[in-house]
Amino acid sequence: MFRLPSPVRRAAAAPGARRAAVGAAVCAAAVLGVAACDGGATAQDTAVGNGSSFVTGSYGTTVVKAGSRRAAPEVSGTMLAGGTFKLSADRGAVLVMNFWGSWCTPCREEAPALGALARTLSGADVRFIGVDIRDDPASAEAFMRTFRIGYPSLNDPNDTVALDFGGTVPPAGIPTTLVIDRRGRIAARIVGPVSYNGLKALVTQISAERS
């Protein structure tokens, strides 16, 4: 997993409520055992929140029991390619939300799997959205072309979307991938690079749930 460069940590230290939000998120990251990028290691399987709502899985994955899921925040923003995005518009579909950056080596490692899986599941009731963090738009668009990422990405230069998710998305590193169920609740989280088969199995499981 890639640790965000120093400008991110400085930007996150803004005054007021933003400072409080970042502080809470950093504490959550410590509890989660988030690691820096040293060969693409993923975080340990550790519950978040109150500890009782999550069932730990493998490969840095946590899965939330259906009856204990919390609603995703009302995220909105500007897309890299222009236009706007509202998370609530995808209600009724399973949403895979991947936080990434073109400068992040583990993001490059997982990108082929994400692009291929999005193509495999196209036509199914599953949607993919990226959140491009601390990036230059031209570099991000080149990254998407190189790895055949056909789904859109939000432009998130100031980590605003990540902060909206509170402690669920570690502020110190990416990639992180969330799977949001049909009712708009956070069903699973993968900290570190995803695998094609692992993410496909997880999405298939959540897609099969009764809404």
What is the per-residue pLDDT for 47? Answer: 30
Domain 2-207 adopts which CATH fold? Glutaredoxin (3.40.30)
Residues of the chain with confidence (pLDDT) below 70: 1-59, 170-173, 211
Q: What SS3 class is residue 185?
A: strand
Query: Domain map of the chain by residue range?
Result: 2-207
- Which candidate, 1, 196, 23, places its Cα nearest to that of 105? 1
Q: Do residues 95 and 125 make contact, with C-beta atoms less than 8 angstroms apart?
A: no
Contacts of 96 (CB under 8 A, 6+ apart): 114, 118, 126, 127, 128, 129, 177, 178, 179, 180, 199, 203
- Give strand pairing partners of 90: none
Phi, psi angles (nearest 5°) of residue 88: -65, -20
What is the per-residue pLDDT for 170? Answer: 67
What is the per-residue pLDDT for 173? Answer: 66
Residue written as token pair 């989660």 = 32
